[in-house]
Amino acid sequence: MSDDLNINKKRNNQIKTKSSSASGRGETDIDYVRPAEVPDQDLYHGHSFITKWIFCQDAKVIGVQYTLTAVFTGVVGLILSWMMRMQLGFPELFPFLTAETYYQFVTMHGMIMVVYLLTALFLGGFGNYLIPLMVGSRDMVFPYVNMVSYWMFFVAVVVLMASFFVPGGPTGAGWTLYPPQAILEGTPGAGYGILLMLISLGLFVIGFTMGGLNYVITILQARTRGMSLMRMPLTIWGIFTATVLALLAFPALLVSAIMMTLDKILGTSFFMPTIIKAGEALSYDGGSPILFQHLFWFFGHPEVYIVALPAFGIVSDLISVHSRKNIFGYRMMVWAIVGIGALSFFVWAHHMYVSGMSPWFGFFFATTTLIIAVPTALKVYNWILTLWRGNIRLNTVMLFCLGFIVTFVNGGITGIFLGNVAVDVPLSDTYFVIAHFHMVMGIAPIMVIFGAIYHWFPLITGRLMDETLGKWHFWTTFLGAYSIYFPMHYLGFIGVPRRYFEMYDSPYIESAVGMNEFISTAAFIVGAAQFIFFYNVVKSIRLGKPAGKNPWKANSLEWLTPDVPPAHGNWGDKLPVVHRWAYDYSVPGAKEDYITQTTPPSEVREAEVEKT
């Protein structure tokens, strides 16, 4: 007992010593933060153009490289969607758009937009740029591995684009790549095209694994002093959870790509059943196409949340900053992100209701699909309550945030329809699914991406983007997107099938002809409107109004660096010390309407701040 008392006295003396030394530095006891547990990171500094801007180990440069590469692939995907809409709205007007090229464009458009644009942009682009800045570290914990991960992604994109130039062209198996037709002769691109697609996906997964491990370890191990997990911005929580999902889900895509490659090259039968062609049995025997569907959708549905969760986190931060209010229910938002991530692994087979599964399985997956809507709805309520009675700045950033909320809610409601087996079966192969998928996975995340770029552009370049051009861009994109996808719900209800290269002649869908012409025209306009954004970016880099430091009066660490844009190493000679969460806005008793994360409690004694 006496030994325990001596230990306690010794511990109390150590605390008093720390407090007195803190007072000697001009601080008070309430400002004390535990000292760093690990030494400062030693960085490699490039000495030439190649090592500073090409083979660079700075996470911020790597984030920009990811973004530029992903946007390039996105522009390719946009052009492919234009080609598809030309054929659907005005068939036979363009002779080069054959059935084969149409299916190839559909396949490449889908895979590019879901994997090579959205996943790469949210995790590779925003993840690399924001994680070290927002958690207060100098860089990712493994900068060299981070650089290699980007170049693996770049090679994956090159391999994918090379499929446009090989004999037979890219694969036309549909973006889900279902066997057996994906590798059988008669499917467009069944030779080199499908092989290049599978190799590209394998390279992408390997490259992402390198980057993903970096993101997770940096967030868990390299946070600055005072940055507890429950003080991290929701952007980091969204990226962190999505990265964990990807590390668990992408292996299913990788092994399915390897197995299908072996089926194609070596004639194995992982996914290939016994097939009779022209009266003769092919060499395949005993494989299961349904097995591929399970593997693909075990990756495919978490992939929805790999894109959505970073968007949820980013939009939460943007709404808080631009409404000058603390985020409503921060801990609830964190656990909703984690809960959505966990539940996303139990809903994959709702994409497979038409595959002939047992009704009991259908009941299970319909139930889990409805359950996952609960934490998602909580997030929507929290966004609305954050906006409630806020000092809302109705700028371009906020417009894109509001556009996201409206679009995501609309898309989510149609998801409840499709989560029900009895409703999904007749709608599964119609344009209703196209409308739902694009509202949730296309338009909603793109709204967040644009809002985030308008928000963080001053941090990256030191200049503000043009607000007038930004609002023209938003309204054209928002109204145009609804002109495209709202009518598609109607097309689905009247039974217009998706995946068809042209509309068949039927008295039941006569109204679809004019509707398709209208949708195609709207798609051309919306696509062209994106060049307003590109013009705004280029113009603002050179001629934009200087932003200064922290133009939005935000609290999070990325706006508090000594230099704007942040230099390599981010923080100069001394890492920041965090005293609070990132959401102290419009706090009663505070002199300003924001209190940064690095503001010590002794400087805001009169403010009624949240205890975090």
Q: What is the pLDDT of residues 15-35, one digit of tens each?
A: 444 444 444 444 457 777 887
pLDDT value of residue 504: 66
> Shortest CA distance to 572 belongs to which of 226, 138, 223?
138
Position 471 pLDDT exceeds 50:
yes
Helix (H), strand (E) counts: the chain: 17, 2
By mean pLDDT, which of 273-277, 515-519, 559-563 is the weakest?
Answer: 273-277
Summary mean pLDDT of the chain: 91
Q: Mean of the pLDDT values across residues 216-233?
A: 95
The average pLDDT across 568-586 equals: 92
Q: Where are the alpha helices (DSSP H) in 266-388?
A: 289-323, 330-343, 359-387
Share of the chain above pLDDT 70, in %: 95
- What does 422-439 look like in DSSP terms, one character per residue? HHHHHHTTBHHHHHHHHI
Residue 289 has what pLDDT?
Answer: 95
Closest CA to 131 of 40, 55, 241: 241
Whether cis (ω within 30° of 0) applies to the bond prior to 180 is yes
- Are 247 and 216 in contact by the 8 Å Cβ rule? The answer is yes
Q: What count of residues does the chain have?
A: 612
CA atoms within 13 A on the CB side of 309: 33
Structure tokens at 330: 């921060």
Nearby residues of 492 by Cβ (< 8 Å), 6 or more positions away: 427, 430, 431, 432, 433, 434, 435
- Pull the structure tokens for residue 312: 């949820």
- pLDDT tens digits, one per residue of 125-149: 999 999 999 999 999 999 999 999 9
Neighbours of 581 (CB within 10 A): 23
Distance of CA 421 to the CA centre of its chain: 28
pLDDT for res 407: 96
pLDDT in tens, 92-118: 888 889 999 999 999 999 999 999 999
Q: How confident is the model at residue 1 (pLDDT cuts 50, 70, 90)?
A: very low
d(CA 523, CA 594): 41
The answer to whether 459 and 60 are in contact (CB under 8 A) is: no
What's the rounded mean pLDDT across residues 181-198?
A: 94
Q: Which two tokens stand for residue 504?
A: 């068949």
Mean pLDDT of 214-223: 95
**C-alpha to C-alpha distance for 158 and 425, rounded to whole angstroms:** 38
pLDDT of residue 9: 41
Supply φ then ψ for residue 273, to 5 degrees. Answer: -80, 180
Determine the distance from the C-alpha atom of residue 109 to the mean position of all C-alpha atoms in its chain, rounded to a whole number: 17
pLDDT, residue 396, reads 97
- Taking the domains of the chain in order of start, what are their residue ranges? 54-232, 291-392, 394-547, 554-612
Residue of 313, 318, 310 lying closest to 400 (CA atoms): 318
* 294-334 pLDDT per residue, tens: 999 999 999 999 999 999 999 999 999 999 999 999 999 99
- The CA distance from 405 to 305, in Å, is 16
Q: 478-516, pLDDT tens digit by residue? A: 999 999 999 999 999 988 999 888 876 667 677 788 899
- Least confident residue range of 20-29, 80-89, 472-481, 576-585: 20-29
